[in-house]
Chains A and B, each alone.
Chain A
Amino acid sequence: MEKKVVLKTKAIGKYFYDPLKFKVLDNISFEAYQGEFLTLVGKSGSGKSTLLYILSTMDTEYEGELFIDDALITGQKVNKLAAIRNKNIGFVFQFHYLLPEFSCLKNIMIPALKLGKYSHEEVEQQAYEKLDMLGIKDQALKPASKLSGGQQQRVSIARALINSPKIIMCDEPTGNLDSKNTKIVFDTFQQIAHEFGQTIIAVTHDIDFAKASDRTIELADGKIVG
């Protein structure tokens, strides 16, 4: 079966100017495929997080070109990029970044309500399904701040999934979790990639986590080394 390219970079480079001009990323070109569980590894300062934020479309100051779903992303307007993220990209960070005033359910629903594709009731239904999949349906109506760290991370995964994005980007998704919760998160990612055909791009320094993924891209000094 021919693999479909979801995300592609062409010679991406980036400089940091503070305190000195310094090239953090140099000529990064790779492709990510549909249904692939991809990890980015590398030492601290290797530029892997920087690369992830360029891929996420949030960082727009770089050279080279970024394609998502064969469409050129580089050079798009900020508001257009926000809409692209809303529709195509889900995010999971080391910290959950849930809105503390809202219930878990509302936190998950917000990106979908923003998308505006489904009615409020339909979105609520979908949010319950995601929570059920992640095994925390019973926590749905609790405020996000009342949950344990592992549960909060699962809520944030549910939030990343709500709009059925093509790509889910993660920055150290297990960096703050114990081994039990790490396992849950890993299994969930496997399921998302292999059963639902969504692409996962995760930055991690957890070697076991990376080894168990489909493919690992290693960065060193801003270059792909493996």
Chain B
Amino acid sequence: MKTGVNTEIALTHILTRKRQTIVAALGVTIGIAIYITMNTLIIGTNRYSDNAIFKTTPHVRIYKEDEISKPLEKDSAKIKSTVIINPKISNISKNLINPVKLLDEIKRQPEVTSAAEMVNANVFYNNGKSQLNGVGWGINIVEANAMFDIQSTMVAGDLRTLLNTPNGIIIGVGIADKLSLKMNDNISVISSIGVIKLLKVVGLFKTSNLATDKGKSYMNLATAQQLLGQGPSYVTDIYVNIKDPEQAPAYGKVLSKLTGYSFEDWKAANELFVAGKKIRAIMFTVISWAILLVAAFGIYNIVNMTISQKMNDIAILKATGFSGGDVVKIFVMEAMVMGIIGTILGFLMAALLTNLLSHIYIGADIGYFPIQFELPVSLTGVGVGILVTFGAGFIPARKAAKVDPVAIFRK
């Protein structure tokens, strides 16, 4: 019953000033709507751009780091002179030793979702006189597809054809255009050590990246090994995808320890992208909090004003037995009613905005705006809204608790 009368007073105050209540609530509505939409936007765009990255970059790459030769130095008193040499890369081969066993072991790890052996060959594509340079990915195309979803970029041919065509190659549309190649045409590929192979185009792909389309090709592992003049045990990289890409830097260390080779996680390989993502997150967070703060000031303002206008009412309530806490409760409750109405409307408005945005066509391979309703973020938004309005109500309400009724009555 005691809280009942406080609530009753708070609700009466609110109902007698509907317009101000609605204005303050709408402030919160907009604040929360923007907050939720912004955060949803961050998640959506991050998910999209992560996916774009993961179409070409594995979560973790295991490779053999180049070793730099160490200069010989004076190490004992007997040798008077110091031998100085220019440090150079000293390892002859980038080969991973016993790649099949390594791959098996990596695939057995519970965190690993897929892994593939890989040979990277720098090549020239020739057709008649014209020549293009690029990179040939020697990889098991089925495993690669599991990692990079190559199938979704294919415009002609089928990935599986490569498996049963030992001299097959899948090239980017840029290469096909420049060398005027069609499906099933032959292309001569020359490697950096001069090995020439005549390959048959069994597929074409088109990504959102022009440079990739103009230089990249997929071929069988054996083809790439032959182009580099190596045998079937020659593997330069093992690509690994794990369950949670965010854990890649940490998990890379585990894999590195397991295999004894160096690792590069996708974040290290795309530092610029990761930095961009951070900037975007900071920017959006600042904007959404700024708007939320403005909404909070709206609530603060109205509660503050109400208290200033109701000094007499507060005095008589205190005289008739309401404690400072009761008075604070009354005004905080008023703020909370506005806040909760505003937050609920904001939640709905965010859902609507998200839906509208998701129907905007962007083009390229993004298609529609990469945004969808995100429940956790929306619930966080609701929590933030309620918390902020509580604060915006509580700060001025403390003033009401301090009202000295005697000072009011004696005026």
Query: Which residues of A are at the interface with B, using a C-beta cutoff of 8 A?
Result: 49, 53, 56, 58-59, 78-79, 82-83, 85-87, 91, 93, 97-102, 106, 110-111, 113-116, 119-120, 159, 171
Q: A113-B5, A113-B8, A116-B1 are in contact. Are A99 and B316 (CB under 8 A)?
A: yes
Evaluate contact between B409 and A78: CB separation under 8 angstroms. Answer: no
What B residues does A86 contact at CB under 8 A? Answer: 320-322
**Out of A82, A98, A101, A120, which one reaches B13, CB within 8 Å?**
A101
Evaluate contact between A114 and B316: CB separation under 8 angstroms. Answer: no
Evaluate contact between A114 and B324: CB separation under 8 angstroms. Answer: no
Evaluate contact between B319 and A85: CB separation under 8 angstroms. Answer: yes
Q: With A and B bound together, what is the CA distance between A119 and B313 in angstroms?
A: 24
What would be 12 A-B contacts, judged by CB atoms less than 8 Å apart?
A: A53-B410, A56-B319, A78-B323, A82-B323, A86-B320, A99-B313, A111-B321, A113-B1, A113-B8, A114-B5, A120-B1, A120-B4
Evaluate contact between A82 and B322: CB separation under 8 angstroms. Answer: yes
Q: A59-B406, A99-B313, A102-B12 are in contact. Are A116 and B324 (CB under 8 A)?
A: no
Evaluate contact between A85 and B320: CB separation under 8 angstroms. Answer: yes
Q: Within the complex, what minimum Cβ distance (angstroms) separates A139 from chain B?
A: 18
Q: A113-B4, A113-B5, A113-B8 are in contact. Are A53 and B409 (CB under 8 A)?
A: yes
Q: A53-B410, A93-B409, A102-B12 are in contact. Are A79 and B325 (CB under 8 A)?
A: yes
What B residues does A159 contact at CB under 8 A? Answer: 320
Evaluate contact between A58 and B16: CB separation under 8 angstroms. Answer: no
Q: With A and B bound together, what is the CA distance between A56 and B405 in angstroms?
A: 11
Chain A's interface: helix, strand, loop or mixed, by majority?
helix
Evaluate contact between A171 and B323: CB separation under 8 angstroms. Answer: no
What B residues does A119 contact at CB under 8 A? Answer: 1
**Out of B315, B321, B409, which one reaches A114, CB within 8 Å?**
B321
Q: With A and B bound together, what is the CA distance between A87 and B323 in angstroms?
A: 13
Q: Within the complex, what minimum Cβ distance (angstroms) separates B192 from chain A?
A: 86
Evaluate contact between A110 and B320: CB separation under 8 angstroms. Answer: yes
Q: With A and B bound together, what is the CA distance between A100 and B320 in angstroms?
A: 16
What A residues does B315 contact at CB under 8 A? Answer: 97
Nearest chain B residue, comparing its CB with the CB of A110: B5
Evaluate contact between B13 and A79: CB separation under 8 angstroms. Answer: no
What A residues does B326 contact at CB under 8 A? Answer: 82, 114
**Which of B13, B318, B404, B409 has the most C-beta atoms of chain A within 10 angstroms of its own C-beta?**
B409
State whether the Cβ of B9 lies closer than 8 Å to any Cβ in chain A.
Answer: yes
Give a binary string over B293-336; 1 marks a CB under 8 Å from any A CB, 0 the rest: 00000000000000000001101111111111110000000000
State whether the Cβ of B19 lies closer than 8 Å to any Cβ in chain A.
Answer: no
Q: With A and B bound together, what is the CA distance between A81 and B243 in angstroms?
A: 63
Nearest chain A residue, comparing its CB with the CB of B324: A78
What B residues does A82 contact at CB under 8 A? Answer: 318, 321-324, 326
Nearest chain B residue, comparing its CB with the CB of A85: B321
Q: With A and B bound together, what is the CA distance between A219 and B322 in angstroms?
A: 31
Evaluate contact between A91 and B319: CB separation under 8 angstroms. Answer: yes
State whether the Cβ of B2 lies closer than 8 Å to any Cβ in chain A.
Answer: yes
Q: With A and B bound together, what is the CA distance between A79 and B329 in angstroms?
A: 14
What A residues does B313 contact at CB under 8 A? Answer: 97, 99-100
What B residues does A49 contact at CB under 8 A? Answer: 410
Nearest chain A residue, comparing its CB with the CB of B2: A116
**Which of A53, A59, A101 has the most C-beta atoms of chain B within 10 angstroms of its own C-beta?**
A101
What A residues does B12 contact at CB under 8 A? Answer: 101-102, 106
Evaluate contact between B319 and A101: CB separation under 8 angstroms. Answer: no
Q: Within the complex, what minimum Cβ distance (angstroms) separates B295 from chain A?
A: 26
Q: Within the complex, what minimum Cβ distance (angstroms) separates B282 from chain A?
A: 46
Nearest chain A residue, comparing its CB with the CB of B404: A58
Q: Within the complex, what minimum Cβ distance (angstroms) separates A222 from chain B?
A: 16
Q: Within the complex, what minimum Cβ distance (angstroms) separates B202 from chain A?
A: 81
Q: With A and B bound together, what is the CA distance between A113 and B316 in angstroms?
A: 15
Nearest chain B residue, comparing its CB with the CB of A112: B5
What B residues does A171 contact at CB under 8 A? Answer: 409
Q: A97-B315, A101-B12 are in contact. Are A114 and B406 (CB under 8 A)?
A: no
What A residues does B321 contact at CB under 8 A? Answer: 82-83, 85-87, 111, 114-115
What B residues does A115 contact at CB under 8 A? Answer: 321
Q: Within the complex, what minimum Cβ distance (angstroms) separates B406 from chain A?
A: 5
Q: With A and B bound together, what is the CA distance between A106 and B406 in angstroms?
A: 24
Nearest chain B residue, comparing its CB with the CB of A143: B16
Q: With A and B bound together, what is the CA distance between A209 and B264 in angstroms?
A: 96
**Which of B313, B323, B326 has the most C-beta atoms of chain A within 10 angstroms of its own C-beta?**
B323
